[in-house]
Structure formats: C-alpha cells, structure tokens
Structure 1
Amino acid sequence: METIYDHIEIEDFIFDPILQIFQYPCPCGDRFQISLDDLKDGEDVAICPSCSLMVQVVFEEEDLQQYVDQLS
C-alpha cells in the first residue's frame, strides 16, 4: 500500500521542458519527480529517487495544457 507524504499543487512543482518532468523538493534533500507523460496518463504520484517518500500531485487535466504548450 502506498503512503502519501503530502498533497502538492502542480503549480508548486518546477517544470523542466527539456526533460519534460516536474520536480519538487523532498525533505531528504533530493527532489520528487514525475513526468508530463505520466500525468497525462492519469498517474498522480511523484516519487523521490533517494528515499521512500511519495507525494500526490493535485491537478486538473486542463492544467497540463500550459506545459504541453511550452514544448511547442
């Protein structure tokens, strides 16, 4: 069973248009990460690659369009 550390609004993440991932600081010093494609596919859990913490990304489907537009 997944344990969610926190619920974070998508606007609080930093979007990297080159890697097409969203990042948010983790308490361990690394960053939670989730890809734009994962969000478009309905995934909403960002995982820290250095520890076991996970956060749920709070967003609406239409919120993603502004990030897709940045790629054009």
Structure 2
Amino acid sequence: MEEGAGESKRLYVKKVKILEDRIDTLKKALSESKEQFKKLEDIIKKRYGNDGWDFIQSQLKKIIGSQKNE
C-alpha cells in the first residue's frame, strides 16, 4: 500500500513542478511585456510629447473597450 502512496506523491510533486515552471514562464513574459511597454511609452513621449501619449492611450482604451463588448 505504501508503494501506491509513494507513486501518488511523486506524481503530485511532478505536477507541482510543471505548474511552477508555467508560473515562472508567465512571470517572465509579463516582465518582458512591461519592459517593452515602457520602451514604447518612452519612444512615443519623446516623439509626440505627453499629449500624444495621452491621446494614444485613450484610443487604445476605446479599442480594448469595444472588443470586450463584442
């Protein structure tokens, strides 16, 4: 009976490890996205100023809002 419990524990540990790897991958992707977004924001602000950035943000929010309503 202990063999079954040991096998079950190994399977559980394996599944937890897979989930940890997925979480790490998602954290890395989100971190990279934030860095890329910040670079984009900096470029737009440099070229078009804060007013240009505010306008672009408002347009993006409208687009995202309309996509959520579909």
Q: TM-score range by the shorter chain?
A: under 0.3
Larger radius of gyration: 2
TM-score scaled by length of structure 1 = 0.21
TM-score by length of 2: 0.21
More helix by share: 2
Structure possessing the higher relative contact order (Cα contacts under 8 Å, 6 or more residues apart): 1
Q: Which has the higher strand share?
A: 1
